[in-house]
Structure 1
Amino acid sequence: MGQGNSKLSSDDIKKIMSKTNYTSEQVSQILKDYQSVNQDSKGLSLEEFKSFFSIRFKDYDDASILHMFKIFDSDKNGRISFKEFVGALFIITKSPVSDKLSFLFDMFDRDLNGYLDLEESYNILKLALNTSVGLGFDVSQAGSFAEGLLNSMNRNSHGGITKEEFIKKASVNDTFVRMLCLYQSYDTLLY
């Protein structure tokens, strides 16, 4: 597949399906959506990526979407190929909870130091609360998770929480996982 990715062979579709658990209909819809924002057929620019994700993830600010773009631009060419795009959607929609938490950690570790500091942790919690409230979830227990996360940081000599600590702590907290819609696939919102 070239950058434009205007057509997928049946082998390409089968590869995507085997790696993502998307159906052939979902792959076709993802390709259609990709092509609708990929104006120059060279892969998604940052602006095209923003236009796709900002509509679907209203709680993500421009800085978060920019960081997400950088994470998913795996070949670092400044464009998101269809393969990278499908990979991004897979992580967001169908990957295991631990992979989604790993992605969130990477997205919010903006200084790339391997730790979530107080501000970065706050930004994840803010996203979780905004997402939950927007979907009508009960967020009354969110404070206990936030307190536990921040207490973990205070006990560490490095003043932050590592990816492993974050995944371990977050994955066992059903309230937090539900707040981020990590149990649900985003099928109803995306594919």
Structure 2
Amino acid sequence: MGNNKSSLDELYQCESHEWYRKFMTECPSGLLTYYEFKQFFGLKNLSPTSNEYVQSMFSTFDMNDDGFIDFMEYVAALSLVLKGGVQQKLRWYFKLYDVDGSGCIDREELLLIIRSIRAISGSDDGMTAEDFTNMVFDKIDADGDGELSYEEFMEGIQADEMLLERFTQSLDLTHIVAKIYGEVQMMEPNKH
């Protein structure tokens, strides 16, 4: 006990009614707005770039594009984060990176997201966001057109172990889920 795997197992086994109670405590209307989304995850005083990234993330979770995240969308997002396979996560990453919805990711879109992720997480892997973006395009832009199609992105990332690891780590949201789970656990003693 006490190891990382057991804490992840506890996250996976958290009962849905606890998630529902937490969701409804934070969002009594049953609909999470963008403002509440930021509050829910403790995202304050964001730079304009980071704010754009969070807005993109909110939009990808808002699957029916109604401007809100309802409980089912919330559960789907958590399920993706906790249990989603590589293919599912890469599909979600592609949608997140394709800021303008064109079906392709250009350098500016990828650069914007990489800068935003780094600003929010405070991470720096020794490579500038520009260098990382250029490396991604050099490695996986198969036709050299300056845009990554869905196929190029999916095949290229999966074929390069280092890129797959970096993308997976950069969008690892388990710390956010752990925060929510911790708050649910703190609520538990009060329920009796």
Instruction: Please report the TM-score for the alignment, with normalisation by the length of structure 1.
Output: 0.66
Conserved? CA contact 1:114–1:162, under 8 Å: yes
Residue of structure 1 equivalent to 2:94: 105
Q: Secondary structure at the match of 1:92?
A: helix
Residue of structure 1 equivalent to 2:104: 115
User: After the TM superposition, which residues 78-157 of structure 1 pair with which residues of structure 2 at under 5 Å, given as runs?
Assistant: 78-126=67-115, 134=123, 146-151=133-138, 152-153=140-141, 155-157=143-145
Residue of structure 1 equivalent to 2:164: 177
Letter in 2 for 1:73: D
Equivalent residue in structure 2 for 1:27, among 16, 24, 28: 16
Aligned residues: 165
CA–CA distance in 2 between the matches of 1:184 and 1:62? Answer: 16
Q: CA 1:91 to 1:165, structure 2 compared with 1: closer, same or farther past 3 Å? A: same
Greater percentage in helix: 2
CA–CA distance in 2 between the matches of 1:29 and 1:185? Answer: 22
User: How far 1:99 moved relative to its partner?
Assistant: 1.4
Q: Once the two structures are superposed, what CA deviation does each residue of 1:38-92 show, in whole Å capped at 9, x if it has no partner?
A: 04x2411121112223549x89822122222222222333221100011112222
Q: CA 1:36 to 1:124, structure 2 compared with 1: closer, same or farther past 3 Å? A: same
Letter in 1 for 2:87: S
CA–CA distance in 1 between the matches of 2:15 and 2:168? Answer: 20
Conserved? CA contact 1:133–1:139, under 8 Å: no
Letter in 1 for 2:109: E
CA–CA distance in 2 between the matches of 1:28 and 1:43? Answer: 17
Where structure 2 has 5 or more consecutive residues not aligned to the other structure, the ranges are 1-10, 179-192
Q: CA 1:86 to 1:144, structure 2 compared with 1: closer, same or farther past 3 Å? A: same
User: How far 1:32 moved relative to its partner?
Assistant: 3.2
Conserved? CA contact 1:145–1:176, under 8 Å: no
Q: CA 1:42 to 1:132, structure 2 compared with 1: closer, same or farther past 3 Å? A: closer
Residue of structure 2 equivalent to 1:13: none
Where structure 1 has 5 or more consecutive residues not aligned to the other structure, the ranges are 1-20
Instruction: Please report the TM-score for the alignment, with normalisation by the length of structure 2.
Output: 0.65
Residue of structure 1 equivalent to 2:148: 161
Letter in 1 for 2:160: N
Q: CA 1:133 to 1:38, structure 2 compared with 1: closer, same or farther past 3 Å? A: closer
